[in-house]
Structures are given as C-alpha cells and as structure tokens.
Amino acid sequence: QKEVEQDPGPLSVPEGAIVSLNCTYSNSAFQYFMWYRQYSRKGPELLMYTYSSGNKEDGRFTAQVDKSSKYISLFIRDSQPSDSATYLCAMSAETSYDKVIFGPGTSLSVIP
Amino acid sequence: DADVTQTPRNRITKTGKRIMLECSQTKGHDRMYWYRQDPGLGLRLIYYSFDVKDINKGEISDGYSVSRQAQAKFSLSLESAIPNQTALYFCATSDWKGPQYFGPGTRLTVL
C-alpha cells in the first residue's frame, strides 16, 4: 500500500461546479498537509497548507483534514476553466515540513 | 522575476554523457531539494540540503550527485546519464518552518 493514495482521474466538470479532490494516507504520524496545483509543463504551485485536523479556507478553495479517517480533501467552489490542472496532495510528519510525501496527482478539467 | 529558477528548461542528451542541472533561489531559504517526476509515480526526492555544509540522500539518489555552491544555489549532476533518467526534474526550497516552493522544472531526455 502506498503511503499516499490519490485518484488520478481525469476528472471533468462543467464551469461553476463544486469540485472535490481527495487523498487518503496510511501514516498516522502525518500532521502537515499541503495542496499543490500543477499546470502542464510547469512546476507545482503551493495552494494551501495546514496543520492537523480541521478546515482552512482561501477564496474559492477549502482544505479539509480528517486525521481520524486519514483523509484530506480540497474543495473548489465556482470552478473556472483556469482551474484545469493536476492537483497534488502532500503531507509530512516532521515539524518543519521536510520529508514530504506527495500523492501522484488528480487531473482536473473544467469545461466552459 | 521568479523566486526559484532552473536551467536549462529542456535538455536532450545521450546515454553516458555527464549533465548538470542548476537551481537558484531568491527566497532566502536555507533548505533546497531536488525531485524527479514521472507519470504515475509522482514526485520523488533525490537529494536535499539544509544548508551549505549539509547534503542528504533522498529516496532515489543512485546515479545522481549534488553540489550546494551557496545558500542560493543547488545543482544536480548525472555523472553518466541513462535512458531511465528521462523525467521532469524540479528544484524546491523551504525555510525551517514552512512548506516547499518549486521551480519551473527541467525536462530531461536521455537517448
């Protein structure tokens, strides 16, 4: 079993839809959680990062962590074609974000 | 200007050649990392450095070496490139208490 699992997609939604992207993990020591967005042929761009359980909101994006279920989610409200990208979850057990484990990514297409 | 830059952005080379990928950052971070990305495998850590005098192997360091020339510069070398080193290579930086920030990547093809 991989440490971090993520549905690779592709996920296709109409513009304006609410998107839910999810990751599961096996290591209960993970306590730092991140979401990156990666456009084709570009480097991963940090979207959100959070510590431990709970929700964090930033504009149209909400990150949710459920440590009891070892499950994290990224919600995108009012999705736009510019949100079309691959989304990587990442997590770390270390206090300083080192030794980060990345999920393989979910490919998202938002159709106008 | 970008905070993390990588050169070259694209490189095609032949089996057995030595190649160096370079990374520079203006974020003032102490920590720098090299990853490779392959389809379906995600990002895998090759080497990381906490400061100029500290170099650590990552998950897949065989066939690679690194040099930390300064706080802002971290280079990755393939001493004798082989075709299965064809991949996207990313440099990243972080400070001691925050997440990692990535460069734009180098697309390397080994023929």
- Residue B9 pLDDT > 90: yes
Do the Cβ atoms of B105 and A42 come within 8 Å?
yes
- Residue A97 pLDDT > 60: no
CA angle B94, A29, A3 (to 5 degrees): 85
* Angstrom distances, CA of residue A2 to CA of A28, A63, A76, A90, B50: 13, 22, 26, 13, 27
What pLDDT does residue A2 have?
78
Using CA atoms, how far apart are residues A48 and B52, in angstroms rounded to an integer? 29
pLDDT, tens only, B70-108: 999 999 999 999 999 999 999 999 987 788 999 999 999
User: Which residues in chain B are contacts of A25 at CB distance < 8 A?
Assistant: none
Shortest Cα distance, chain B CAs vs residue A25, angstroms = 15
A68 Cβ under 8 Å from any chain B Cβ:
no
pLDDT, tens only, A41-53: 899 999 999 888 8
User: Which residues in chain B are contacts of A36 at CB distance < 8 A?
Assistant: 102
Share of chain A above pLDDT 70, in %: 95
pLDDT, tens only, B59-77: 899 999 999 999 999 999 9
> Which SS3 state, helix, strand or coil, does residue A37 take?
strand
Using CA atoms, how far apart are residues A73 and A79, in angstroms rounded to an integer? 15
What phi-psi label fits residue A99: left (phi over 0), alpha (psi between -120 and 50 degrees) or beta? Answer: left
